[in-house]
């Protein structure tokens, strides 16, 4: 118990009934019946029209004219919009004023259809609206666009590319150096240099980006959008449309995956609102799958070089990380790979740098485990090489360099169970039976390899609000403008609300995905579970505080005239702490005093801005400063077995074990699903995912799901997942670290390390396709 | 009904199966009981169509180029069937036509008149879920749920085809249905459970 006697959730753990349990998804029935309504499916709107975007095939150039004579003859065409006739926006992120107002709600500062300039292939150059989808598609196809093409820059590898060191933007946020890494590397007895190449990757959520804009009045619009971030999409829209915030409503009830692509708003969303206003009808826009490759960002193509210096025994002395990547003509974005290199192992000397080259591509963006996913590939492959070089087991080298405190900040960890992840993973995988020799385990024409890697992801600061309305009949309405992109938000928040209120989960109705609800954090950077669960838990505490005040003032209550601090709420009962028999159910109290419902609100914090629950309840802030004095991360270990076909060069993952320590796990079943999903995403990145721009035209050559390969059923073996229980009182009221990102971090390295063990060659150019494997195998033969 | 025209169905359907990656060669033979078509008729512009979906007859006015998928989603508001790629590459739009699974984006609505079409909305019997739907819930065979209707329709057909008798066989025959959230092991568990109980 804390000094103020307001229980934290951790204190209530023994009484938790459904938190942590594998409750079947509360939205699952709607999903398996096809009844869940996604953003493009709000078909009930009157006279709903369809928009189709016409994109540029050319990556650089200037539009000299449009010929819409054939297009406008198509029946049902309501409007053909280009930069010449589209009504302008009040603000765009292209100006400094607009950028300041829109801030991080848009990743790309360029707004299409504002000039005749073409900067990337796939850039929208026109938008056609018609009464049916077929008419809109046909008219868009008939619209002729005349373009004077210029020679584009394709990537950082282009001979025309000019590398520069960014001084502003996300790409400039390099972790602070420590010691003298260059000197320490030069003097290190063991020196390793690892250069990794990463192909462009695309998120490809199964649900394409889609928007329906419905102007209910000339100055009021509801936008049904595929967004992971209700609040920031809402903000971007009202700023760009020049409307009061209350006049814009954003709704996302079901989201078909996102993985970062739906985290910030992209131009097509506001374009839909613009054309809907212009034609005076609700308009639906759904991006085509090829358009998904040029509309909602990607993980940038990049090269990273990690130089690692160590003692002969394998103790790290120096880490030097350099990254080069492609960015757009306007923005300085690069995912920050060096964050994880900075903190994963104890190492006295560290330095990192980032270089960018502008090319004719759209701005890249956050993609599952941004920075940590590729960064972990570099550090975890390098550690594997180091283990091999000094003759240690891959787990032993990691234990030898284990960071007992945050190497970057020197702060203690709020909690860290990485060693337990290694231990449990090794046990589940049977790691002890691993052949210490590389390239030495053969089964027929296959070489078998076992690899492992660590993962970690920071706890980002976030906060959010929630509202809980408890009814005298025993049910509750819980509200927060969160989203559930498949991560299980609907379900885990229902569980938290049920336990916090002492009612059954079927009596909780959790409403999310609407900007009219209390604002909360985006579903990104693994923020949502911790933030939303904490705010709902605290809003429930607010309900209890109000009920306790009513109870002690009611002469018929068993706790009449007790001090508030002497009363507690346990499983829906208000009772004396000293004598639990003196109490009654909240239903009894509320019905007796004629109170139909009672509302509680709260703000939940996540990360270093977290104040303990009692602080939020305006009581002494005993723990207020604890959070900021700790370094907060989740950790994981992944184990992989591969079979490499020596004749075909194909790599098949045949066994997989992930062990994750991420604070409190709110639902063991949905958490497991999220972890296997992250691993499968990482296996895809390791073995098959890569978007290829034509080296002359800078146009994607494989922008489809037939040509951009993601894992399918046949690629994936049975997978084992385990969690290490952690009780972390520093991160948020619920002790939840989140799982979305940490589930992918380290996975690609585990695959590469298994291939290294199988064939005895280190492959660091992703994806590791059969041609690369065969080339390496030929070196042996 | 404006037209009874149906294309040379055997070649068209073989094409569809091959394009979906479901390798139709070993599928059950074509239903020979189809009524013979009275010969090609030119159909232009929006016409009245009639589709038998989930045991009910739906009338709609759509163009011949309207795909079955768009007819379901945009004309009949049966939005349970999902559009993931519109090119037969992802399987999200899988429905049953005369008991066989097809990707509804690769066929035209007008071609499916007179056939029995089953979509995800027609799988449950009222409130009682189909065993495959129950198994997907129990094994958490999805996250975002967007590929789920296609996975479930494909899974039901996969068992009916006799292609879910081992884990590896089932993985192979379900590989036309992409799940980007990565629920594959859970989907496999669901299908194998249903297959083994039949």
Domains of chain B are 9-122 (3.10.20.30), 131-196 (1.10.150.120)
Predicted confidence at residue B41, as pLDDT, reads: 75
Rounded Cα distance, A235 and A436, in Å: 56
Strands B94-97 and B116-118: antiparallel
β-bridge partners, B143: none
Q: What is d(CA A416, CA A135) in angstroms, rounded to the nearest whole number? A: 58
Only one residue has tokens 């996102």, namely A258
What are the tens digits of pLDDT across the range B76-131? 999 999 999 999 999 999 999 999 999 999 999 999 999 999 999 999 999 999 99
Q: Which residues of B128-146 are buried (b: 16+ CB within 10 A; e: fewer)?
A: ebbbbbbbbbbbbbbbbbb
Phi, psi of A619 (to 5 degrees): -120, 175
- Report the DSSP beta bridge partners of residue A442: A447
State the DSSP code for B75.
I
Of the candidates A492, A501, A505, which has an alpha carbon nearest to the alpha carbon of residue A472? A501
Q: Does B195 touch chain A (CB under 8 A)?
A: no
How far apart CA B195 and CA B160 sit, in angstroms, is 9
Show Cβ contacts of residue A103 under 8 Å, excluding neighbours closer than 6 positions: A235
What is the per-residue pLDDT for A606? Answer: 67
Q: What angle do CA A399, A403, A407 make, to 5 degrees?
A: 150
Considering only CB atoms, which chain B residues are within 8 Å of A716?
Answer: 171, 182, 184-185
Output the pLDDT for position A729: 85
Token pair, residue A106, equals: 């848009």
Nearest CB among B83, B119, B137 relative to A24 is that of B137
Q: What is the ipTM of this complex?
A: 0.95
- Answer for the pair A360, A330: CB distance below 8 angstroms, yes or no: no
* Mean pLDDT within B53-65: 97
Q: Which residue has the tokens 């894992």?
A: A711
Q: How many Å separate Cα A28 from the centre of its chain?
A: 21
Yes or no, beta carbons of B74 and A132 under 8 Å apart: yes
**Which of A207, A669, A718 has the CB atom closest to B185's CB atom?**
A718
Q: How are beta strands A633-645 and A597-606 bridged, if at all?
A: unpaired
Q: Please report residues of A whose CB lies closer than 8 A to that of B70.
A: 133-134
Query: DSSP letters along A628-641, please?
Result: GGSB-EEEEEEEEE
Question: Which pLDDT tens digit goes with each residue over B173-192?
Answer: 999 999 999 999 999 999 99
Give the model confidence (pLDDT) of A147-182 as tens digits: 999 999 999 999 999 999 999 989 999 999 999 999
The Cα A571–Cα A568 span in angstroms is 10
State whether the Cα torsion A690-A694-A695-A699 is positive or negative. Answer: negative
Nearest-CA distance B150 → chain A (Å): 10
CB contact under 8 A, A134 and B63: yes
HSE at residue A660, side-chain half, CA atoms within 13 A, is: 31
Identify the pLDDT of residue A724: 98
How far is A470 from A509, CA to CA, in rounded Å?
10
d(CA A421, CA A465): 33
Sign of CA dihedral A241, A223, A670, A371: negative
d(CA A177, CA A193): 19
- Positions in chain A short of pLDDT 50: 1-8, 10-14, 611-626
Tell me, what DSSP letter sits at residue A567? E
Q: Do residue B184 and residue A27 have CB atoms under 8 angstroms apart?
A: no
Strand duo A61-67 + A117-118: pairing: antiparallel
Query: What is the spatial distance between Cα A481 and Cα A235, in angstroms, rounded to a whole number?
Result: 13
> Which 8-state DSSP code applies to residue B143?
S
CA–CA dist A212, A226 (Å, integer): 9
Residue A767, CA distances (Å) to A158, A671, A685, A770, B111 in order: 20, 27, 6, 9, 41
CB contact under 8 A, B183 and A677: yes
Name the band, by pLDDT with cuts 50, 70 and 90, for residue B39.
Answer: low
B66, B149, B175 member nearest A713 (Cβ): B175
Q: Which residues contact A588 (CB under 8 A, 6 or more apart)?
A: none
**DSSP secondary-structure letter at A773?**
H
* Chain A contact for B82 (CB, 8 A cutoff): yes
Contact A120, A291 (CB under 8 A): no
Structure tokens given for A599:
């509302």
Q: What is the DSSP letter of A153?
A: P
Phi, psi of A496, rounded to the nearest 5 degrees: -65, -45
Q: For residues A530 and A537, what is the distance between their CA atoms, to the nearest angstrom?
A: 10
Q: Are A302 and A324 spatial neighbours (Cβ–Cβ below 8 Å)?
A: yes
Structure tokens at A512: 């999310």
Sorted by where each starts, the structural domains of chain A and their CATH numbers stand as 13-36+462-622 (3.30.365.10), 396-459+632-780 (3.30.365.10)
CA distance A150 to A698: 11
C-alpha–C-alpha distance, residues A752 and A739, integer Å? 23
Q: Answer yes or no: do A677 and B142 touch at CB < 8 A.
A: no
All residues of chain A having their beta carbon less than 8 Å from the beta carbon of residue B66 are 134
C-alpha distances out from residue A238 to A147, A281, A413, A523, A618, Å: 33, 19, 40, 20, 34
- Beta carbon pairs, A and B, within 8 Å: 188
CA gap A128, A130 in Å, rounded: 7
Q: Which residue, A359, A319, A355, is CA-closest to A334?
A: A355
Based on its alpha-carbon atoms, the radius of gyration of chain B, rounded to whole angstroms, reads 17
* Closest chain A CA to residue B67: A134
Q: How confident is the model at residue B34 (pLDDT cuts 50, 70, 90)?
A: very low
Q: Which residue has the tokens 């705010």?
A: A535
Residue A646: predicted pLDDT: 96
Q: Do strands A220-225 and A349-358 pair parallel, antiparallel, or not at all (unpaired)?
A: unpaired
**Residue A672 to residue B85, Cβ atoms within 8 A:** no
pLDDT of residue A629: 84
Give B-chain residues touching A205 at CB under 8 angstroms: 144, 146, 180
DSSP per position, A13-63: GGG-SSTBS-PPPTTHHHHHTT----GGG-TTSTT-EEEEEEE-S-SSEEE
Confidence at residue A145, expressed as pLDDT on a 0 to 100 scale:
98
- Which of B135, B184, B192 should we substitute to test contact with A (largest number of A Cβ atoms within 10 Å)? B184
Provide the sign of the torsion angle of the four alpha carbons A397, A399, A400, A401, taken in this order: positive
C-alpha span between A34 and A40 (Å, rounded): 14
Cβ <8 Å between A711 and B182: yes
- Parallel, antiparallel or unpaired: strands A765-766 and A508-511: unpaired
* Strand partners for A643: A448, A652
Q: How far is B87 from chain A (nearest CA, A)?
A: 9
With 90 as the cut, is the pLDDT of residue B29 above it?
A: no
**How far, CA to CA in Å, does A230 sit from each of A217, A233, A251, A255?**
21, 5, 7, 12
Residue A741: active-site member: yes
Let me know the angle formed at the C-alpha of A382 by A641 and A404, rounded to the nearest 5 degrees.
Answer: 95
What pTM was estimated for this model as a whole?
Answer: 0.93
Nearest Cβ partner of B178 from A32, A206, A669? Answer: A206
Kindly report the nearest CA distance between residue B163 and chain A, in angstroms. Answer: 13
* Structure token digits, residue B10: 């055997």
What tokens were used for A363? 């701005």
């Amino acid at each position: 118990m804390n000094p103020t006697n307001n229980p934290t959730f951790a204190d209530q753990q023994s009484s938790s009934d459904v938190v942590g349990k594998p409750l079947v998804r509360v939205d699952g029935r709607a999903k398996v019946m096809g009844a869940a309504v996604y953003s493009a499916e709000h078909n009930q709107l009157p006279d709903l029209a369809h928009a189709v975007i016409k994109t540029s095939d050319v990556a650089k150039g200037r539009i000299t004219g449009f010929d819409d004579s054939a297009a406008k003859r198509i029946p049902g065409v309501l409007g053909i919009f280009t930069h010449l006739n589209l009504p302008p926006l009040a603000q765009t992120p292209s100006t400094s004023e607009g950028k300041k107002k829109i801030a991080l709600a848009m990743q790309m500062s360029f707004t299409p259809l504002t000039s005749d300039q073409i900067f990337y292939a796939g850039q929208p150059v026109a938008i056609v609206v018609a009464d049916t989808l077929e008419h809109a598609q046909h008219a868009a196809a008939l619209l002729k666009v005349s373009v004077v093409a210029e020679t584009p820059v394709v990537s950082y590898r282009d001979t025309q590319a000019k590398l520069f060191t960014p001084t502003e933007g996300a790409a400039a946020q390099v972790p602070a150096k420590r010691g003298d890494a260059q000197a320490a590397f030069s003097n290190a007895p063991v020196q390793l240099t690892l250069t990794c190449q990463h192909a462009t990757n695309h998120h490809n959520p199964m649900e394409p980006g889609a928007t329906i804009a419905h102007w209910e009045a000339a100055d009021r619009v509801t936008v049904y959008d595929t967004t992971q971030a209700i609040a920031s999409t809402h903000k971007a829209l009202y700023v760009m449309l020049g409307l009061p915030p209350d006049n814009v409503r954003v709704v996302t009830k079901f989201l078909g995956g996102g993985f970062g692509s739906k985290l910030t708003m992209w131009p097509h969303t506001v374009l839909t609102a613009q054309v809907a206003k212009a034609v005076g009808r609700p308009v639906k826009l759904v991006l085509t799958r090829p358009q998904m490759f040029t509309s909602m960002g990607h993980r940038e193509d990049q090269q990273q070089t990690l130089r690692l210096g160590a003692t002969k025994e394998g103790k790290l002395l120096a880490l030097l990380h350099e990254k080069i990547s492609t960015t757009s003509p306007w923005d300085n974005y690069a995912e920050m790979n060096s964050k994880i290199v900075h903190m994963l192992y104890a190492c006295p000397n560290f330095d990192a740098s980032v270089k960018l080259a502008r090319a004719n591509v759209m701005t890249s963006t956050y993609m599952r485990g941004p920075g940590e996913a590729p960064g972990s590939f570099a550090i975890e492959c390098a550690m594997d090489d180091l283990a091999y070089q000094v003759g240690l087991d891959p787990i032993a080298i990691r234990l030898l360099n284990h960071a007992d405190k945050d190497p970057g900040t020197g702060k203690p960890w709020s909690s860290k169970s990485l060693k337990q992840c290694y231990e449990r993973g090794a046990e589940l995988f049977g790691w002890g039976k691993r052949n210490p020799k590389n390239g030495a385990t053969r089964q027929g024409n296959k070489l078998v390899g076992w690899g492992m890697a660590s993962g970690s992801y920071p706890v980002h600061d976030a906060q959010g609000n929630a509202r809980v309305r408890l009814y005298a009949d025993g049910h509750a309405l819980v509200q927060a403008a969160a989203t559930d992109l498949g991560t299980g938000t609907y379900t885990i928040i229902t569980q938290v609300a049920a336990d916090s209120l002492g009612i059954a989960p079927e009596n909780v109705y959790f409403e999310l995905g609407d900007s009219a609800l209390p604002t909360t954090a985006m579903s990104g950077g693994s923020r949502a579970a911790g933030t939303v669960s904490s705010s709902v838990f605290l809003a429930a505490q607010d309900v209890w505080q109000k009920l306790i005040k009513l109870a002690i003032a009611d002469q018929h209550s068993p706790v009449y005239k007790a001090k508030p601090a002497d009363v507690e709420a346990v499983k829906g009962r208000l009772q004396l702490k000293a004598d639990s028999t003196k109490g009654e159910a909240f239903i009894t109290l509320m019905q007796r005093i004629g109170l139909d419902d009672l509302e509680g609100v709260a703000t939940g914090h996540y990360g270093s801005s977290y104040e303990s629950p009692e602080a939020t309840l305006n009581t002494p802030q005993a723990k207020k400063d604890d959070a900021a004095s700790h370094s907060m991360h989740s950790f994981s270990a992944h184990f992989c077995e591969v079979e490499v076909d020596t004749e075909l060069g194909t790599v098949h993952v045949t066994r997989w074990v992930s062990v994750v320590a991420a604070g409190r796990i709110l639902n063991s079943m949905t958490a497991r699903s999220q972890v296997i999903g992250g691993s499968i995403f990482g296996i895809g990145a390791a073995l098959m995912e890569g978007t290829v721009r034509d080296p002359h035209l800078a146009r994607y050559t494989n922008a489809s799901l037939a040509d951009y390969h993601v894992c399918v059923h046949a690629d994936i073996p049975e997978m084992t997942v385990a969690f290490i229980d952690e009780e972390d009182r520093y991160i948020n009221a619920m002790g939840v670290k989140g799982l979305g990102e940490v589930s992918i971090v380290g996975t690609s390295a585990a695959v590469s390390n298994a291939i290294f063990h199988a064939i005895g060659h280190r492959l660091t150019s992703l994806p590791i396709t059969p041609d690369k494997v065969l080339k390496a195998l030929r070196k042996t033969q | 009904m404006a037209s009874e025209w149906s294309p040379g169905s055997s070649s068209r359907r073989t094409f569809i199966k091959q394009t979906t990656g479901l390798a139709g060669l070993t599928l059950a033979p074509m239903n020979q009981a189809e009524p013979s078509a009275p010969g090609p008729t030119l159909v232009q512009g929006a016409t009245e169509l009639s589709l038998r979906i989930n045991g009910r007859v739906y009338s709609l006015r759509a163009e011949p180029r309207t795909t079955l998928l768009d007819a379901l989603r945009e004309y009949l508001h049966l939005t349970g069937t999902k559009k993931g790629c519109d090119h037969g590459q992802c399987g999200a739009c899988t429905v049953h036509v005369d008991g066989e699974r097809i990707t509804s984006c690769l066929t035209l609505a007008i071609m499916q008149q007179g056939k029995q079409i089953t979509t995800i909305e027609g799988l449950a019997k009222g409130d009682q879920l189909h065993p495959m739907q129950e198994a997907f819930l129990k094994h958490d065979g999805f996250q975002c749920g967007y590929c789920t209707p296609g996975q479930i329709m494909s899974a039901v057909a996969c068992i009916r085809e006799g292609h879910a008798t081992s884990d590896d066989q089932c993985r192979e025959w379900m590989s036309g249905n992409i799940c980007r959230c990565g629920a594959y092991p859970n989907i496999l568990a669901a299908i194998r459970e249903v297959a083994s109980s039949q």
